[in-house]
Structure 1
Amino acid sequence: MPPRSTGLAGADAQDDFLRARRRLALSRLRRWLRREPGDIDHILPFDEVVTALGRLQERDTGLKVVPLDAIVGTVDRPKGFDRHFRPTTPHVRARWERIATAMRRGEEMPPVDLYKVGDVYFVRDGHHRVSVSRTLGLDVIEAHVVEVLTRVGAGSDLLRADLPLKSHERIFFERVPLPDHARGRVRPSDPWDFAVLAEAIEAWGWRWTQEHEQTMDRRELARRWYEEEYIPVVTMLRDADMLGDGSEADAYLRVGGERYRLLRTHAWNEDVLALLRAARRGS
């Protein structure tokens, strides 16, 4: 809902700033009462995000109309605003109120400059304009957008605390460069398990090269493992009703670990599955 107007743009802008600050204070109080993570409202730092995700290239996409609630980060040092672009310090007040006054008077604002990474946007220039626009109840803003392509994606719920786990995901796909169509399917529920899965795949590749007496690069290894090992195994586990909770990758790691611990074999067949089911019933 747009804020009320008294017809005095300058006075209304002052009220807008104070209202934005009250919203921030109330949000912090609610978060404290609910014992929510401390960084849930922290603005995302662009450099840390693209480093964790693995920058590939960038492309200028020109002028776009961008949803304001998708803008959650900054290229600058994260100071002055939170993830929702509520002002976190009174030091931004003078400039903030000048822009709010101009916008209330109907003055045209230049487009902001944004980076797009996955589903989220980072401000290069225009922090105050984004903040004022959100406070005035706008849904979108005109922006000049440069899209940064990364090895792993960023969803709208990305938090700063997620970045170490995103790094594990990125390193996994560097070690195991799966085809694009396979990446969404090979995903452990716990991102820390990406490292365990990478080691299992590389061990599978070593056994394959010993058996066939030929080498292969990482891309071919990833493709062969997915087509010759992963798909047949998870199909067997599904048919045997052994997937359990979690993802297919969780089941592959869990049952594979049980198989080697109990049977000391790397084989997958009906006899192996029958022995594993019997071991479970007897435990």
Structure 2
Amino acid sequence: MTSEALNQIEARERYRRSVTRAQVADLLGLITGQDTDLINYHEIANRLKARQQIEKGTEMVPLDRIVGSVGRYRDFTRTFLPRSGVNEERWTRVDAAMHSLEGLPPVELFKIGEVYFVKDGNHRVSVARANGMTHIEAYVTEVATDIPLTLDDFERDRWLIKVEEAEFLEKTKINELVPDHGISLTEPGRYEQLIHHIQVHQYLRNLDLDREGKEERLSWEDAVVSWYRNVYQPVVEAIRKYNLLEHFPERTEADLYLWIAHHRERLAAHYGLAPLSPEAAVSTFAELHSERPLERTVKGLRLGLLRVLGQDDIPPGMSEEEFLEARARHDAGEISLAEAAQRQEEGEDTEAEDPEAESEPSQEPA
């Protein structure tokens, strides 16, 4: 048997083993909820608003820093294992060529931060990894961005959190308005929720000015500062008082603020309450939630027992006096943040439908 024929046989065997490993990886991804696709280069570039490109020439690139692709990001797994839709003949030809004297031309990569995306050469990267190589020759084009991305940022969508954080800082200017704010989140999609909280706070404060007969309106910049000092910071102070971060490893005060805000709204809707004070919101949250498995189990059993005994008329962690006071404020007309947000949206919809209506001040950033 010629060496060329032997190379072909070995290449086919490597392909089939790699496809099997890809199937196992995808199955585990379904079980764990982890995305096993390559990163879509265009999604990254668009979110980063990355446009400037710098030709860097040819260099040896670590294969484990290639995390995505321009056009074939669903054909291979995150580690460039070929899925069954990848053409076997093409993959094995590339494998055989890699072992021949002829060799293969450099792949073409885009570089963003510390990571790379395949512009041309997905099969070559896949074959190189299947053969245990650690580096590959590549022609590199660097795409400039102000947001530094590392390899670790592509675990648990950290890259997306960095982008959303940059957008939040740009929209709120909070670094300039409150330099020591310390706001940091660990899950994607959360910074937009903070923006929404600020908008609702601005809406409520402007309603207060209306009721007082005043013509001035709270500017976006003033709303950001007011929200931080009167809404966010009091909750954070209560979080610190109850040492709540000890029960939530790897989370931040801003994470807990959003969870507590959601928890407060659920209590308000369920029990017919006005918004709880920061301390009451945190104390009731602390009674019900923890990320530590044992504490979570104990608290769940305790809540279940209270329900069985019919003693869940008042949220655990809240005194009867606090409960009655919040109920009285709600009966007197004080609305929750969720109700305020709904009224704001309905008001904006009405204004949009009625071109003859008098214009109201915009709740969006100037």
Range of TM-score over shorter length: 0.5 to 0.7
Q: Which amino acid aligns with 1:282?
A: S
Please state whether the residue corresponding to 1:138 is helix, strand or coil: coil
Give CA-to-partner distance per residue, 1:189-211, whole Å, 9 cap, x none.
4x444443221123345667869
Give the letter aligned to residue 252 of structure 2: S
- 1:7-38 residue CA offsets vs partner (Å, 9 max, x unmatched): 92552254134313222214414653785268
* Separation in structure 1 between the aligned mates of residue 8 and residue 256 of structure 2, nearest angstrom: 56
Q: How many residues align?
A: 267
**How do residues 187-266 of structure 1 correspond to structure 2 at under 5 angstroms?**
187=185, 189=187, 191-205=188-202, 216=219, 224=225, 228=229, 232-233=233-234, 236-241=237-242, 243-244=244-245, 245=248, 246-255=251-260, 258=264, 261=268, 264=275
Partner of 2:141: 145
Query: Alignment partner of 1:149: what SS?
Result: coil
Deviations 1:160-215 (A, max 9, x none): xx9999997787566445549989843164x444443221123345667869x576
1:60 and 2:54 aligned: yes
Aligned to 1:157: 155
Q: 1:69-88 deviations in whole A, cap 9, x for unaligned? A: 23232212546533322333
For the structure 1 residues 198 and 7, does the alpha-carbon distance in structure 2 shift closer, same or farther, using more than 3 Å as the test? Answer: farther
- Using a 3 Å threshold, how does the CA distance of structure 1 residues 172 and 134 change in structure 2: closer, same or farther? same
Pair 1:115-2:83 in alignment = no
Deviation at 1:45, TM superposition (A): 2.8
Is 2:85 aligned against 1:71? no
Amino acid at match of 1:240: K
Distance 1:60 1:199, change over 3 A: same
Structure 2 match to 1:3:
none
Q: Could you tell me how far 1:105 is from its partner in structure 2?
A: 3.4
C-alpha distance in 1, partners of 2:29/2:144? 35
Q: CA deviation at 1:123?
A: 0.7
Instruction: State, as a whole percentage, how many aligned pairs show the same letter.
Output: 24
Q: Taking structure 1 as reference, are residues 235 and 197 closer, same or farther at Cα in structure 2, changes over 3 Å only?
A: closer
> Which digits, 9 at most, give the CA deviation of each residue in 1:232-261, with x for residues without a partner?
446523541254534211332345564995
Distance 2:195 2:60 in 1: 40
Query: Aligned partners of 2:102 and 2:181: how far apart in 1?
Result: 47
Matched, 1:186 2:207: no
Three-state SS of the structure 1 residue aligned to 2:185 is coil
Structure 1 length as normaliser, TM-score?
Answer: 0.66
- What CA distance in whole angstroms lies between the structure 2 residues aligned with 1:205 and 1:46? 37
Distance 1:225-1:216 versus aligned 2 partners, 3 A rule: same
Structure 1 CA distance for aligned equivalents of residues 275 and 85 of structure 2: 65
Other-structure match for 1:18? 13
The one-letter code matched in structure 2 to 1:139 is T
Alignment partners' CA distance in 1, 2:127 and 2:36 = 18
Q: Secondary structure at the match of 1:121?
A: strand
Cα distance in 1 between the residues matched to 2:43 and 2:54:
21
Q: Secondary structure at the match of 1:15?
A: helix
**Distance in 1, Cα, partners of 2:243 & 2:92:** 61
Say whether 1:282 aligns with 2:319: yes
Secondary structure in 1 matching 2:108: strand
Q: 3-state DSSP class of the match of 2:31?
A: coil
In structure 2, the residue corresponding to 1:57 is in which secondary structure?
A: coil
Given that residues 202 and 218 in structure 2 are in contact (C-alpha distance below 8 angstroms), is that contact kept between their aligned partners in structure 1?
no
What is the CA distance between 1:113 and its match in structure 2?
Answer: 1.5
Higher relative contact order (CA 8 A, sep 6+): 1
Structure 1: distance between partners of 2:25 and 2:109: 30
1:99 is matched with which residue: 90, 94, 97? 94
* Pair 132,204 (structure 1): closer, same or farther in 2 beyond 3 Å: same
Q: Which has the larger radius of gyration?
A: 2
Unaligned runs of at least 5 residues, structure 2: 285-314, 321-366
Contact (CA 8 Å) 2:50, 2:143: kept in 1 or not?
Answer: no
Distance (Å, rounded) in 2 between the aligned partners of 1:36 and 1:183: 38
Partners of 1:83 and 1:100 lie apart in 2 by 19
> Counting strand residues as a fraction of each chain, which structure ranks higher?
1
Q: Choose which of 266, 271, 279 in structure 2 pairs with 1:273.
A: 279
Distance 1:96 1:199 in 2: 49
Whole-angstrom CA distance in 2 between matches of 1:277 and 1:90: 53
Q: 1:39 to 1:20 in 2, by over 3 A?
A: farther
Task: Provide closer, same or farther for how the CA distance between residues 127 and 61 of structure 1 changes in structure 2, counting only shifts above 3 A.
Answer: same
CA contact (8 A) 1:188 1:194 kept: no
